[in-house]
Amino acid sequence: MIIGIGTDMCDIRRIEQSLEKFGDRFKSRIFTKSERDYCDPKSGVASYYAKRFAAKEAVAKALAGPRTGSLSWQDVEVVKDPSGRPGIKLHRGALRRMKSRLPAGYDGIVHLSLSDDYPYAQAFAILEARIRD
């Protein structure tokens, strides 16, 4: 069953400006080491960071409840499976929040779709609760 949906758009130009102005300080505050290791060698690096930024926002929206506060940027990490499909790994507060939203006997799965068409990046996240096997 779907228990949360979130979407976000990010202006890639804004991320370009943040990368130029703040460099590593911006990257290390928002993105995990493995996200930085993935994005930094890419051509058009800002679009990769923008998609991850949008993904973090979309997942935070999917996890939000009526009385939830903000999450740490690094608690939501974009990962890729061997086929290249994007996914989400939750840490600390984000993982606790997901577990608190799940009915007893269910596991949580976050589905993620990323897209970009300069100057915009977009992410769509669905939080699904599945009966535990």
Domains located in the chain, CATH noted: 2-131 (3.90.470.20)
What is the DSSP secondary-structure string of 71-117?
--GGGEEEEE-TTS-EEEEE-HHHHHHHHHHSPTTEEEEEEEEEEEE
Q: Mean pLDDT, to the nearest integer, of 77-105? A: 94
Tens digit of each residue's pLDDT (9 = 90 or more) over 9-68:
999 999 999 999 999 999 999 999 999 999 999 999 999 999 999 999 999 999 997 777
Q: List the one residue out of 126, 115, 15 whose CA is nearest residue 61.
A: 126
pLDDT band at 94 (very low <50, low <70, confident <90, very high): very high
% of the chain surpassing 70 pLDDT: 100
Q: What is the mean pLDDT of residues 76-97?
A: 95
Q: Report the predicted TM-score, pTM, of the whole model to 2 decimal places.
A: 0.94
Backbone dihedral angles phi then psi of residue 24, each to the nearest 5 degrees: -65, -30
Residue type, 56: K
Structure tokens at 84: 């290249």
3-state DSSP assignment of residue 27: helix
